[in-house]
Chain A
Amino acid sequence: AAGVIQSPRHLIKEKRETATLKCYPIPRHDTVYWYQQGPGQDPQFLISFYEKMQSDKGSIPDRFSAQQFSDYHSELNMSSLELGDSALYFCASSSGLAGGPSTDTQYFGPGTRLTVL
């Protein structure tokens, strides 16, 4: 079965550079979530989109922005990168508000490991 696809899988950037992470949800999923997991930490929710509109916002820095496109893929844009941004960035998708609990389960992508030097 198709899963959530994230690209790139690994990314190395220098401080003050920008990075763009991409997420392609499971087909027919209309909701995308972004999480950041620092070394030794639990995943922290960043932001989510439902039907191309921002649906919720968590601990996302102002230097980051995200959007969901018409094909439901999402991009997380990160500017003025800092050393502390080094983390695993997970994208998850679900079928959003339409179904019951089983369809609201989030399915995670493999993650993008961002290293800021």
Chain B
Amino acid sequence: DQQVKQNSPSLSVQEGRISILNCDYTNSMFDYFLWYKKYPAEGPTFLISISSIKDKNEDGRFTVFLNKSAKHLSLHIVPSQPGDSAVYFCAAYSQGAQKLVFGQGTRLTINP
């Protein structure tokens, strides 16, 4: 039972354009969501997070949107840069569980 789903295994975007990565979840008990970025053979790096009481959080080029009624969140990267090419994991967290549930990841490729 995949509680966090990233239905797009890969995404290609032109440099300078907007990258939109999507994530859906099924467990309404999740109260905190995070995005991680991962380069090959390295550990995931925390990017940005959002609490369930918010619907938007922005940090520089990265913005995360949360739609609780649809159980959907998205990560927007604008403008996209070549260094953004990596695998992006969506993760969901509940205070009670004290662990993260990861999605399958989306490989983002930024084309020059």
Which chain A residues have a beta carbon within 8 Å of chain B's beta carbons? 4, 31, 33, 41-43, 45, 48, 50, 55-56, 58, 88, 90, 92, 96-97, 101-102, 104-111, 113
Contacts and interface: CB of A to CB of B under 8 A. Distances in A.
A58 B99 CA distance: 9
A101 B30 CA distance: 12
B89 interface: yes
B43 interface: yes
Given A41-B104, A43-B102, A105-B34, 8 more contacts: A4-B43, A33-B100, A42-B105, A56-B97, A101-B49, A104-B93, A108-B43, A110-B43
Nearest to B46: A105
A56 B105 CA distance: 23
B42 to A, nearest CB: 6
A43 B102 CA distance: 7
Contacts of A41: 104
A117 to B, nearest CB: 19
Contacts of A31: 98
Given A42-B103, A56-B99, A109 B34 contact: no
Contacts of B45: 108
A45 B100 contact: yes
B70 interface: no
Contact of A111 (B34, B41, B104): B41
B89 A43 contact: yes
A104 B32 contact: yes
Contacts of B31: 101
Given A42-B103, A42-B105, A105-B34, A55 B98 contact: yes
B102 to A, nearest CB: 5
Interface in B22-64: 31-32, 34, 36, 41-46, 49, 51
A101 B41 contact: no
A88 B40 CA distance: 11
Interface string B80-99: 00000000010001010111
